[in-house]
Amino acid sequence: MWNSRDIEVTPGARCSGGQISASSTLEDSGRLMGLQSRLDRAHHVAMTRNAFAPDNALVRNCLAGRDALVVMSPSVHRLYGPRIRAYFEEVTDVHFMVLHRTEASKSLDAVVEVTERAAAVGLRRTSPIVAIGGGVCTDISGLAAALHRRGVPHFNVPTTLVGLVDAGIGTKNAVNHGRRKSALGTFYPPEHTVLDIDFLATLPRRQLANGLAEIIKLAVVKDRPLFELLDRYGMRLLDCGFRRPVRAADEIVWRAAAGMLAELARNQFEIGDFRRKVDFGHTFSPYIEVASGHSVLHGEAVAMDIALSAQLAHALGLLTEADLERILTMLETTGLALVWPGLSVDALCATLPSIVEHRNGDLHLVVPTGIGTCEFLGAADINPALLRASMAELVRRTCRDDIQTVQRRTLAASGGQ
């Protein structure tokens, strides 16, 4: 069997078998007291194949003899439900629920639904909620774990490409509220994340492209070798559900996941410094997702954000024409649109003050300065005229590409005459 690989994301944390270590110190100087506390957690990320095969004990070992609530998305339940239930038959007190939610209904109500199920089955303080599904499932389950009994452990087994390299391995869990994406949430890392690329074989092509956008994000701002791997193998993997070439699939997913975790480890709980490379593609994209009624998927919106941010960088002289072309071509080749037809620059600008508030007083817009490098721009660097001109360039490119596509199809239909 393919060997698992493991990263401990919190070096030196005293965590074993799902236990968390904590210490507190009370200082008393007469009429002034102070309580200093420290909480150490470890998040273990392991990569395996065929995670729910009877002879693969990895997920069962993560439980370490504890009871659990397993939360599955409807598609996971439909495709893998019997296999997953059979896998846990040897483990006593494992309970199941199917979470019927989408990005459009990822709300506090969904979190309460999970906590009520956890209460109904008598989930204990040290017993985990195990999410098996995409980003919606892991987000809701993680937030439910943070709230149930003021905090129980949680594990993630992400089954989408977005989950494998982003949503399933991060520290944050959030739900939408009041037409704001990810408005309510916590920093509450999972104990374990199990990465299994085999789930991608049953993922629709659109969802694979959706996840590739998150990998392209990381490659553009911090990992040129990853970009070259995508350039060489991305389309082949997209066409076959990440089944072939096996080594390329493993390397791309693992490198993206490790890169994401390395960036998070710099400031896992976003204390003090709000400049994060992994926010590339996540400044304009929340508006696009919400304004489209979530008809634009998360990764698709991220791709549009990447395109606009790259075009802005080029307009400001920070990115060469050649590197801009490589970035936009990779997005287009993957099948990701560069612009959303419903995008209003004025409406987009109106959302930027809330981004500035969220990032503690400045925009911290991540823009590429080459393949594998980036820098941060402030709110003063961006204005409506610059945004409008950059959008216009992307629209012209899209229209040109559409005309060329029609011409090629017409030529093919006429027998090349």
Q: Which CATH number fits domain 213-265+276-408: 2.70.150.10, 1.20.1090.10, 3.20.20.70, 3.90.1150.10?
A: 1.20.1090.10
Give me the CATH topology for the region 5-203.
Rossmann fold (3.40.50)
The lowest-confidence range among 127-136, 160-169, 400-409 is: 400-409
pLDDT recorded at residue 79: 97
Q: Which of 106, 172, 217, 222 is catalytic?
A: 172
- pLDDT interval class at 272 (50, 70, 90): confident
397-417, pLDDT tens digit by residue?
998 876 665 445 434 444 444
pTM of the model: 0.90
The question of whether 172 is a catalytic residue gets the answer yes
Residue 17: its pLDDT value, please? 39
pLDDT score for 409 = 45
Q: What is the pLDDT of residues 238-266, one digit of tens each?
A: 999 999 999 999 999 999 999 999 999 99
Q: SS3 letters for the chain? A: CCCCEEEECCCCCCCCCCCCEEEEEEEECCCCEEEEEEEECCCEEEEECCCCCCCCCHHHHHHCCCCEEEEECHHHHHHHHHHHHHHCCCCCCEEEEECCCCHHHCCHHHHHHHHHHHHHCCCCCCCCEEEEECHHHHHHHHHHHHHHHHCCCEEEEECCHHHHHHHCCCCEEEEEECCEEEEEEEECCCCEEEEEHHHHHHCCHHHHHHHHHHHHHHHHHHCHHHHHHHHHHHHHHHHCCCCCCHHHHHHHHHHHHHHHHHHHHHCCCCCCCCCCHHHCCCCCHHHHHHHCCCCCCHHHHHHHHHHHHHHHHHHCCCCCHHHHHHHHHHHHHHCCCCCCCCCCHHHHHHHHHHHHHHCCCCCCEEEEEECCEEEEECHHHCCHHHHHHHHHHHHHHHHHHHHHHHHHHHHHHCCCC
Domain ranges, ordered by start, for the chain: 5-203, 213-265+276-408
**What pLDDT score does 12 carry?**
30
